[in-house]
């Protein structure tokens, strides 16, 4: 008996929203073949998960191979690379007055890229 080939649809790839975080996700729709399905995700080329969907994941390049219990061992599908990106880190700058313990005032310019703070005066 021949069955429909397994197909994978990436239904949503959500970026990481916090700098250096791991709140990204990828959800999928698997069709065809004979359920249940088996899954193998890789992240940056290394085996990562055997879940259908990925939640709370960090930035990276992910790909999925899914196959069914169909006796035809070649009945599987693979995705291309799905890249989970990070939203841009907050950036800000401004002038600040720092008052030292001796009462001396210093005006400084602070700039941040979301990770590092640069102070100049």
Around 112, how many Cα atoms within 13 Å sit in the side-chain half-sphere?
12
Q: Give every CB contact of residue 34 below 8 A, 6+ residues apart in sequence.
A: 3, 68, 69, 70
pLDDT for the residue 121: 59
How confident is the chain (121 residues) per 10-residue block, as mean pLDDT? Answer: 74 85 92 87 94 94 86 71 76 62 72 66 59
What's the pTM value of the predicted model, to 2 decimals?
A: 0.67
What are residue 49's phi and psi, to 5 degrees? -160, 155
CATH 2.60.40.10 positions along the chain are: 7-84
pLDDT for the residue 117: 66
pLDDT for the residue 97: 60
pLDDT for the residue 1: 47
CATH 3.40.50.720, applies to 7-84: no
Q: Give every CB contact of residue 60 below 8 A, 6+ residues apart in sequence.
A: 43, 44, 83, 84
pLDDT for the residue 85: 82
pLDDT for the residue 93: 59
């Amino acid at each position: 008996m021949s069955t429909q080939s397994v197909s994978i649809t990436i239904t949503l790839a959500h970026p990481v929203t916090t700098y250096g975080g791991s709140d990204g996700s990828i959800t999928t729709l698997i069709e065809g073949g004979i359920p249940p399905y088996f899954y193998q995700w890789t992240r940056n080329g290394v085996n990562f998960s055997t879940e259908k969907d990925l939640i709370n994941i960090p930035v990276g390049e992910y790909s999925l191979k899914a196959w069914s219990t169909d006796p035809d061992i070649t009945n599987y599908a693979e995705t291309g690379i799905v890249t989970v990106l990070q939203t841009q880190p907050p950036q800000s700058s401004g002038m600040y007055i720092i008052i030292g313990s001796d009462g001396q005032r210093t005006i400084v310019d602070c700039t941040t890229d979301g990770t590092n703070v640069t102070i100049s005066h």
